[in-house]
C-alpha cells in the first residue's frame, strides 16, 4: 500500500487522481539503542532510504506525479542535487511520461546520477549551481507547459507530510524533538505541516520542536544570508538559496526549534558513527541531524531523556565514493588458511 492509498483521506486527491505507487512510505522507524544510551536520549531513526528510489523524495513525488497526470501534463521537469532526479525519473518511468532532469554539472553523487539515467530520464548537466538549475527548470516548465516536480510543487509537500503521520502512528505521539537535514527546506516544512494536521485532528496532543541542520558550507538559514557558492560533501543539501526557506522559518519559529550548522568533518564522523554503532548506512546529508545532536551534546545543550526522531533522508548507497574515502580498502591475502587466521588475530 502506497502513500496515496494509505492516507487518501488526508491528501488532496479526487476521484480523478490516479492511485499510482511504487510502494513508497511505511518506512521503518528504528530505535537506536546503543546510540541512545551513549547520548542519554531516546533516539529514533526514520529510515527513508528504504523508499523505492532510496530517499524520502518518493513520498512527495508520488503525489506530484499523480496530480500531473490528473492535469494532463505531457512531461515532468525538475532540478536536482540528485535525489529528486532519481525519484522523478522512477515515477515518470512507472507512469510512462517523459522526464527532464537538470543537474549542476559535476556536483551529483554517482549513485543518484546512475539512477536517473537508468530510469530513462533525459539528464541535462547545467554549468552552474542548483539554484540556477532550478530557475531554468521553472522557466522551461512554464514555457513548455510541463509539470515542475520540485518542492515548489505544493503536492510534493503534501505527500511528504505522510512521514510525520507515520511517526505518530508508530509512537502514539509526536517526539519531543524532530531533527532533520535542511537543503531546499521543503521536508522540514512538510513534517511540521503533517504534525500540525494530526494535532488539529486530535490524533496527537503536543507538537515537536523542529530542529533543522545544514552543512556549514551551505547554511543560509543559519547565517540569514543566501550562499552564492554552496559547498559541502553532503551533496543532497548543497543548496545556497532554499526555495522553501519561508516555510522552514515558519516551522522552526512556530515550534520553538532552531537551525544549526555542522561541518563536513562532523557529518562524516556522524555517518561512520551511525553505521558502526547503529548498523544503519545513510548518505552524508542524512547524518547532519546526528552530527548536530552530537554537537549540541558537546555544548551541553541536549536535554537528557528527550525523545528525538531524526529523519535519515537517503540510503548510504547513494554516495558510495564518499563512504569509501573514509574507511579504506579490504585486506588482501592469498588463498592460504594460515594467512586468514593471522589476519583474524586482531
Dump pLDDT digits (tens) for 26-69: 999 999 999 999 999 999 999 999 999 999 999 999 999 999 99
Model confidence pTM above 0.85: yes
> Cβ distance 148 to 77 under 8 Å?
yes
Residue 346 confidence class, pLDDT cut points 50, 70, 90: low
Residue 271 CB contacts under 8 Å (≥ 6 apart), including other chains: 282, 283, 284, 286, 287, 316, 323, 326
Is the pLDDT assigned to residue 109 strictly greater than 90?
Answer: no
Domains of the chain and any CATH numbers: 3-55+156-326 (3.40.50.1100), 57-153 (3.40.50.1100)
Q: Tell me the average pLDDT of the chain.
A: 96
- Average pLDDT estimate for 137-158: 94
Q: What is the pLDDT of residue 82?
A: 83
- pLDDT band for 106, please (50, 70, 90 cuts): confident
Q: What is the mean pLDDT of residues 230-244?
A: 94
Is residue 257 within 8 A of residue 251, CB to CB? The reply is: yes
CA neighbor of 315 nearest in space, from 82, 90, 97, 130:
82
pLDDT digits over 157-196, tens only?
999 999 999 999 999 999 999 999 999 999 999 999 999 9
Put the strands of the sheet holding 99-104 in their side by side order.
Answer: 122-126, 99-104, 76-79, 147-148
User: What is the DSSP secondary-structure string of 102-125?
Assistant: EEETT-S-HHHHHHHHHTT-EEEE
User: Which grid cell sits at 2?
Assistant: 502506497
What is the mean pLDDT of the segment spanning 247-264?
A: 98
Q: For residue 36, give the C-alpha cell.
A: 541512545
State the pLDDT at residue 78: 94
Residue 245 above 80 pLDDT?
yes
Under the banding of pLDDT at 50, 70 and 90, the label for residue 336 is: very high
Beta carbons of 284 and 322 less than 8 angstroms apart = yes
Amino acid at each position: 500500500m502506497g502513500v496515496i492509498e494509505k492516507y487518501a483521506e488526508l491528501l488532496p486527491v479526487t476521484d480523478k487522481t490516479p492511485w499510482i505507487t511504487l510502494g513508497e512510505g511505511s518506512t521503518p522507524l528504528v530505535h537506536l539503542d546503543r546510540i541512545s544510551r551513549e547520548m542519554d536520549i531516546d533516539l529514533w531513526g526514520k529510515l527513508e532510504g528504504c523508499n523505492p528510489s532510496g530517499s524520502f523524495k518518493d513520498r512527495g513525488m508520488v503525489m506530484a506525479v499523480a496530480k500531473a497526470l490528473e492535469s494532463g501534463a505531457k512531461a515532468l521537469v525538475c532540478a536536482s542535487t540528485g535525489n529528486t532526479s532519481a525519484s522523478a525519473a522512477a515515477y515518470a518511468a512507472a507512469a510512462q511520461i517523459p522526464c527532464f532532469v537538470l543537474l549542476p554539472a559535476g556536483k551529483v553523487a554517482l549513485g543518484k546520477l546512475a539512477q536517473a539515467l537508468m530510469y530513462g530520464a533525459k539528464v541535462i548537466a547545467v554549468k552552474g549551481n542548483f539554484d540556477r538549475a532550478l530557475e531554468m527548470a521553472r522557466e522551461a516548465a512554464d514555457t513548455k507547459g510541463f509539470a515542475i516536480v520540485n518542492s515548489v510543487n505544493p503536492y510534493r509537500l503534501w505527500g511528504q507530510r505522510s512521514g510525520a503521520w507515520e511517526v505518530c502512528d508508530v509512537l502514539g505521539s509526536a517526539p519531543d524533538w524532530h531533527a532533520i537535514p535542511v537543503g531546499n527546506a521543503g521536508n522540514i516544512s512538510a513534517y511540521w505541516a503533517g504534525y500540525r494536521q494530526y494535532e488539529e485532528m486530535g490524533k496527537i496532543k503536543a507538537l515537536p520542536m523542529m530542529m533543522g541542520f545544514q552543512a556549514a558550507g551551505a547554511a543560509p538559514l543559519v547565517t540569514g544570508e543566501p550562499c552564492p557558492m554552496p559547498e559541502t560533501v553532503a551533496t543532497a543539501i548543497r543548496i545556497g538559496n532554499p526555495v522553501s526557506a519561508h516555510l522552514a522559518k515558519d516551522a522552526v519559529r512556530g515550534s520553538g526549534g532552531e537551525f544549526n550548522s555542522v561541518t563536513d568533518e562532523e557529518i562524516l564522523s556522524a555517518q561512520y558513527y551511525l553505521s558502526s554503532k547503529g548498523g544503519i548506512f545513510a548518505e552524508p546529508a542524512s547524518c547532519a541531524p546526528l552530527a548536530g545532536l552530537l554537537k549540541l551534546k558537546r555544548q551541553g545543550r541536549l536535554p537528557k531523556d528527550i525523545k528525538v526522531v531524526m529523519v535519515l533522508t537517503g540510503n548510504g548507497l547513494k554516495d558510495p565514493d564518499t563512504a569509501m574515502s573514509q574507511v579504506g580498502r579490504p585486506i588482501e591475502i592469498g588463498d592460504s588458511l594460515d594467512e586468514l587466521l593471522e589476519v583474524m588475530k586482531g
